[in-house]
Structure 1
Amino acid sequence: MALSKRILTLILTFLLSGSLLAKEIPLVANIYARQHMTLNGKWNYIVDPLENGYYDYRLQPHTKGGFFENKKPKSPSDLVEYSFDASPVMDIPGDWNMQNPQLFFYEGTVWFKKDFQFKKQSGTKNILYFGAVNYDAKVYVNGELVGAHVGGYTPFNFDITDVLNDGENFVVVKVDNKRGKDFVPTQNFDWWNYGGITRDVLLASVPDTFVEDYTVQLKKGSANTIPGWIKLNTATAAQSVTVEIPELKVKQTLTTNAEGKASFELTANPILWSPENPKLYEVVITAKGEVIKDNIGFRNIETKGREILLNGKKIFLRGVSIHEEAPYARGRAHSVEDATTLLTWAKQMGCNYVRLAHYPHSENMVRQAEKMGIMVWSEIPVYWTISWENEATYANAQQQLHDMIRRDKNRSAVIIWSIANETPHSEPRDRFLGKLATYARKQDDTRLISMAMEVTKDANNLNRLEDNMNTFVDVISFNQYIGWYRASNEDARKMKWEVPYNKPVIISEFGGEALQGLHGDKTAKWNEEYQEELYIRNLEMLEKIDGLSGLSPWILVDFRSPRRQLPNIQDFFNRKGLISSWGIKKKAFFVMQDYYNKKTEQYK
C-alpha cells in the first residue's frame, strides 16, 4: 500500500533530523493531576507562508538551517534570515486569527517559540503535553524534532526527557492549519478554521514507571459495581498499585500483570450522578512514587425501545449545540471561564444536555459540564463529504475518535459518542462509519453511540429517515431545517415525520439565522421575530415525532464562519445563535426556555 505524501515527508524528516532521543507516547491520563509546569503565556511567532523555515529552495526538508534551530548570529558576518527573539509575541493558548488582524483569514504555517528554565531530576520522565494544535503540528525541543501530530482538536504528548537541558531550554512548534480534502475535517466546513496552539501546553514530570492510564466507571446496568483497570507505561509485572474512593470507604491494592496492567472491581453504593445532583467522588490511584487524584461521577445511561434512561429513569434531553467559540467575540474558547460562561447560558435556557459540535471540545468544557450537571454529546469532525475511500483519512478519523474516548472515558457527563455529522449516503460512507461505530463500541460500551443524520423529503410533506447506519447507533439523531433551508415556517404545520426504527430520537439540529437587535415582520428572514416564529412552529411540529427524546437546536451562540458573508447581517458570522456573540439573548432563546421549563415539569 502506497504511503501518502504527508506520511512520507514526516518519515523523511525524522530520518534526516537524526533525532532518536524523544518520541510521541500514548496520551497520559489526567495530565493536570501530575506534577507539572505550564508553558502557557507569551510565545514569539513567525509567519511563514512559503514554509521557508521548513523547506530549502529545492523544497526538501531542512536538515540544518530550519527555523526549528532557533539560530542566532554569533558575529555580524553570520547570515541568519529570521529571529524569534525579534519577532512579535502571541498569547498561548490562543488562535492567531483574533490576535493579529493581518492573520484573520490566514491559512498556512506559523512558527511559535517559547524559552523556559527547567531543573532536571533523576528517576523522572518529562512529558510535553499539548491540549490541541490546529491542524498539523511539528514539535522541536532544543532544535531536535520530538514528534508530529495531525488533528486540530485532540491532545497529544511527547517524552522529551533526553532532549531537555538542565537550565535553559526552548520549544519550537511549526503549526499549519491549511485545509485538505483528505483531512478530518475535510476541506469544506462551516466554522472558522482557527490556527494556532489553541489549548494548554504543559511540561509534566512523572516517575520512570508511572500510571499511564486508568478507568473507573460504574458497570453497565449496575448501581453498586465499579469495575476498572490501571495501566503502567511499561510492561512491568508484579508492581503494586492501589485504587481508593475514600468517601465510599473502598480500597483495593492490586498487582500488575506482564503487560503492566491491573484490573479491579469495587463494590459500593454511590450516589448516582445526575443533572439534578452532579455528585462526584474523589478517586485516588497510587503507584510507586505517584499519587493521582481525580473527581469521578457514577451513573448509568442506556436505551429501552424509544426511551433514553439515566439511572433507570426516563429522561428528555433538553439541549443545545455549542461551538468552541469564546463568548464576547474573542475567537477559539479554551479556558474554564469560557466554558463556565457558555454552560451557564445553556443552564439559564433550561438545558440538562449540550451537543459539543463538531469536534472534541477542551477538557475544561467537559469537566465543567460534569461539575454543573450537564450531560454531553461529544463528536469527532467527520463532517459532510469526507474522503470515504482513503485509508489514511479513515486512520485519521479513528485516531481522533480514540483520543477523544481515551481523554474523557472517566467523565460521567459524557453520555453520547458521535461519529459524524450530515454525511451523504453511499456504500463507502457506510463502511467508513460502520467501522468507526464498531471501534467506538469496543473502546467503550458504557455509553451511547450516535451521529447526526439527514432526512429524505417525500411527496405530501412526508419526511422519512432512512439511513443504513441505523443498525450501528443507539440513538437516531438527525438535522432538519424547516423554515430556513427548505419550506416556510407556516409549512411546518403540514409536515409529517416517519422514523421507522424502534430507538429514541434526538433532533440534533434545527434553527435559523437572526441578527440580534434586528426587528421586523415575522415572515421576513434575518430578524428576531422570524427566528422566534421558526422556533415556535418547529417545536409544535417536532413534538409529534414518535420517540422524541431530546433536542439540541442550532446553536447557543453566534459563531464565526467564512461561509457566511452577507454584509451588515452575517459579516462572517453564522447568526443561528440564540444568543449573540456579545451575550445578548434573542427572542427565540425565551421560546426554548419556556419549552424546556415545561419539559422539566413533565419529567419530574
Structure 2
Amino acid sequence: MAGAWPVQLSAQLQLGPAGGPSFQITNVQARKVTSLNGKWRTIVDPYENGYYDFRMQLSREGYFLNLKPKDKADRVEYDFDSSETLNVPGDWNSQRDSLFFYEGTLWYKKSFDYQAKPGNRIFLHFGGANYETIVFLNGERLGMHVGGFTPFDFEITGKVRARDNFVIVKVDNKRRRDGVPTLNTDWWNYGGLTREVTLVEVPATFVKDYFVQLKKGSMDTIAGWVRLNGAQPAQRVTVSIPEAHASVTVRTNAQGYAAFSLPAQLTLWTPDNPTLYEVRVEAEGDSVREQIGFRTIETRGTEILLNGKPLFLRGISAHEEAPFRAGRAFSAEDSRTLLGWAKELGCNFIRLAHYPHNENMLREADRMGVLVWSEAPVYWMIDWENPETFLNASNQLTEVLTRDRNRAAIILWSVANETPITEARNTFLKKLAALVKAEDPTRLTTAAMMHHEVAGTTEVVLDDPLGDVLDVLGCNEYLGWYDGAPEKADRVTWKSPYNKPLIMSEFGADALSGLHGDEGTRWTEEFQENIYHHQVGMLNKIPFLRGTSPWVLMDFRSPRRVLPNVQDFFNRKGLVSERGEKKKAFFVLQEFYREKARQ
C-alpha cells in the first residue's frame, strides 16, 4: 500500500456542516499579501476517487496527501506534478474544451515557499471558489467552505514551512437541490478557483474588521465600529480621516470590539463626484488603510434620496461574465470595461445579478461613481423549508456584507430574484431581510418580486407580500418577449399597494448582434430595439418608478440557451455582445437615460 494512513488525519477529514468557516478578514488588499495566482496543477475527478475509496470511505491514498512512490515497486495512481495546469484565478470551463460542460470535482495543487516574520500570523485567503471547497495544507485538512461567490480564510500559522509547502484544494461545482443557488439557473455554472488566492500576513493581534460609514440620518457624523482579533484584544484604536481633519480614539473590550462616533465635514460621494477619503484604522500593533466614500441613502414615500436629494436610478443589470474572452470575470480590467460600457450607456447604477460579484467590481464602482444593487444567490426555487439551506443563504449573505459594507457604491442589498410566493418562501426571505437590517442599517433592502395581471384587464399589480418588509420594490417583466407582443406595453398600467419606490429590475429581449430584419422578426436587433421603444413609453407612465435596470448589459453564457446559430449557449439579451459590439437597443436606452438625466 502506497503511504500509511496518518492517524491524525482521520478526524480532520470528516466533512463539516454546510456553510463557511467563521473567519473572514476585511480588506485583504491592504495587508501584506503574497499571491498564489498563476498556474496550478489539476486533476479532474468526476467519481471523487481522490477523496473516497471504493467503499465510499475516506481514501487512505487521497489526492490531498500528494503521495509519491517510495520506490520503483510502489503504486501511486496519481501525480500532480505531471498533470495539466489551469490558471488561477479562472474558471475551468473556459480554459479547457474538455471541461466546457463539466460539473463535479476538480483538484488543484500549488507548491510554495514562505518565510513569515516571527510572531506574525498567516492566513490562506480565497476570494471565491465555486461551489464546495475543501482545503489542505501539506496533507492536513484546513476546513471547508460552501458557496461560490464569497471570500473565506484559513489560518495556517504554525502550519506553513519555510520551504516545500503544498496547498491542495478540492473544488466541487455539482448543483444541489438544497444548494444556494439550487439546481436550475439561467447562467453558466463556472467551476473552480475563480478569484484570487493569496497568503495574508498580519500581526499577532490585528484589525480584523471595521465599519466606517455615515450615521443613519446624518451627513456630518460618522458612526461605526472596529474589531480586533488576537491574544491582546483590548487595545487603544484610532480611526482617522486626515483629509477631513477627523479623528477618534477608543478602547476595544475583551472581545476586541469598540464602537465609535466622530463629527466630520465631508464632500459627499455621488455618481458625478465619487469622492473617496483615506481612512486609517490604527491599533497598538497593526494599522489598515482604506479608501472610503461617504453618502446617505434613504427612501421617503416613493422617492429614493441620495444625500437628501431625489434620485432616478438609470441602471443596467450585469452578470459576472468576462468581456471579449467569455468565462467568469474577476479582474479590475474586466470591471472597468463593464462599468465603462454602463457609463457610456448613461447609467449611474448597476444591478450585479444574481450573486455577489468579485471585489474588484465593487471597488471600481466606488472609484468610477456607479451605484450598486448587490444580490444574494437566492434565485427562482430554493429548498425553502430546509434549515440548512437557510443557514447556507444567510452565511453567504453575511460574508458579502462583511466584505463590502464599506463600499459607498452599494445602496441596495437584494435578498432574492423571482421566487414564487409561498408561506415558506415568505418566511425565508423576510428572515434574510431582517438579517440585512441587523448587519447594515445604513442601506436599503430590495428583491426582484412577483407581480400579477388582473384577469380581463391590462392592469398589473405588484402586491408580493415581501413588499411589506423591503425598502425598495423590484420587479422583472418581459412584456413583448415572454409576455405578448411589444405593443402590449402601450396598454399596461402598473399598480402597487405599497407607498414605496419601484425599480423595474429586468426587461428586454434577445437579439443576435449583427442579425437584422424588420421589427417583427424575432432575434433581430430591430425586434429588440422595438421592444425598448415600447418599454420606454410604458415606464414613463409609472408614477412610482424610481429606477430601471434592463436585462442585460452584455450577452452571457447559459446552458439553457441552445438555439443553433443564434444563442449557441448564450443568453442574447445583452445590449452589448460578448465581443463588445453595441446593438441598436443600446442607443434607445442611452437616449432614454439622457432625457432622465436632464429632468
The TM-score bracket by the shorter chain reads over 0.9
Instruction: Please say if 1:295 is aligned against 2:291.
Output: yes
Partner of 2:551: 554
Equivalent residue runs for 1:312-327 within 5 Å = 312-327=308-323
Runs of at least 5 residues in structure 1 that lack an aligned partner in the other structure: 1-11
- 1:253-273 deviations in whole A, cap 9, x for unaligned? 221112211221111110000
Match of 1:422 among 418, 424, 433: 418
Assess if the C-alpha contact under 8 Å between 1:24 and 1:146 holds in 2.
no
Q: Residues 205 and 231 of structure 2 are in contact (CA less than 8 Å); yes or no, is this contact kept in structure 1?
A: no
The answer to whether the Cα contact below 8 Å between 1:306 and 1:502 also exists between their aligned partners in 2 is yes
Cα distance in 1 for partners of 2:471, 2:287 equals 37
1:332-354 Cα distance to aligned partner (Å, 9 max, x none) = 00000000000000000000000
The equivalent of 1:127 in structure 2 is 123
Matched with 1:100 is: 96
Match of 2:238 in 1: 242
Residue in structure 2 matched with residue 514 of structure 1 by the alignment: 511
User: Per the alignment, in what secondary structure is the counterpart of residue 133 of structure 1?
Assistant: coil
- Residue 400 (structure 1) aligned to one of 391, 396, 399: 396
Cα RMSD (Å): 1.5
Deviations 1:354-410 (A, max 9, x none): 000000000000000010000000001100011000000000000011011110000
Separation in 2, partners of 1:136, 1:17: 15
Letter in 2 for 1:232: L
What number of residue pairs does the alignment pair up?
588
- Which residue number corresponds to residue 78 of structure 1? 74
Q: Does 1:29 align with 2:37?
A: no
SS at match of 2:158: helix
Alignment of 1:153-552 (within 5 A): 153-234=149-230, 236=232, 238-458=234-454, 459-552=456-549
Q: Distance in 1 between matches of 2:75 and 2:233?
A: 55
**What amino acid does structure 1 have at the position aligned with 2:501?**
P
Conserved? CA contact 2:516–2:525, under 8 Å? yes
1:164–1:24 CA distance, 2 compared to 1 (3 A) = farther
Q: Which of 103, 106, 109 does residue 105 from structure 2 map onto? A: 109
TM-score computed with the length of structure 1 as normaliser: 0.96
SS in 2 for 1:188: coil
Partners of 1:46 and 1:535 lie apart in 2 by: 47
Mean Cα displacement is larger for which, 163-172 or 46-55? 163-172
Match of 2:595 in 1: 598
For residues 516 and 443 of structure 2, what CA distance do their matches in structure 1 show? 43
Any runs of at least 4 consecutive aligned residues in structure 1 with deviations exceeding 6 A, and if so which? Answer: none
Partners in 1 of 2:371 and 2:511 — Cα distance? 27
Normalising by structure 2, we get a TM-score of: 0.96
What does 1:56-75 align with in structure 2 at a 5 Å threshold?
56-62=53-59, 64-75=60-71
Q: 1:137 to 1:429 in 2, by over 3 A?
A: same
Determine the C-alpha separation between the residues in 2 that align with 1:591 and 1:18: 56
Consecutive unaligned residues in structure 2, runs of 5 or more: 1-7
Q: Which residue of 2 aligns with 1:89?
A: 85
Q: Hey, what does 2:5 align to over in structure 1?
A: none
Which shows bigger deviation, 463-472 or 473-482?
Answer: 463-472
Residues 234 and 255 of structure 2 are in contact (CA less than 8 Å); yes or no, is this contact kept in structure 1? no
SS at match of 2:333: helix
Shift in Å, 1:569:
0.4
- 1:218 is displaced (CA, Å) by 0.5
Distance 1:18 1:307, change over 3 A: closer
Amino acid at match of 1:527: T
Q: Do 1:234 and 1:259's aligned partners in 2 also have CA atoms closer than 8 Å?
A: no
Does the Cα contact within 8 Å between 1:13 and 1:61 map onto a contact in 2? no
- Give the whole-Å Cα distance in 2 for the aligned partners of 1:14 and 1:266: 52
- Aligned mate of 1:53, from 43, 50, 56: 50
User: What is the deviation of 1:24?
Assistant: 4.2
Deviations 1:80-129 (A, max 9, x none): 00000000111100000010100000000000000111013221110110
For the Cα contact (< 8 Å) 1:237–1:255, is it kept in 2?
A: no
- Say which is worse superposed, 48-57 or 115-124, in terms of deviation: 115-124
Once residues 277 and 527 of structure 1 are traced to their aligned partners in structure 2, the CA distance between those partners, rounded to angstroms, is 38
d(CA) in 2 for partners of 1:444, 1:554? 28
For residue 539 of structure 1, what is the amino acid of its counterpart?
A: V
Residue identity over aligned pairs, in percent, reads: 54
Give, in angstroms, the shift of residue 235 of structure 1. 7.3
Preserved contact between residue 124 and residue 207 of structure 1 (Cα < 8 Å): yes
Sort the Cα spacing of 1:48 and 1:400 in 2 relative to 1 into closer, same or farther, 3 A: same
Show CA shifts across 1:498-549 (max 9, x none): 1221000100000010000000010111000000000000110121112110
Local SS of the residue matching 1:275: coil
Tell me if the contact between 1:236 and 1:259 (Cα under 8 Å) persists in the aligned partners. Answer: no
Q: Look up the equivalent residue of 1:346 and give its one-letter code.
A: A
Return 552-561 or 153-162, whichever deviates more. Answer: 153-162
Aligned mates of 2:400, 2:217 — CA distance in 1 = 24
Q: Is the 8 A contact 2:350 2:371 kept in 1?
A: yes
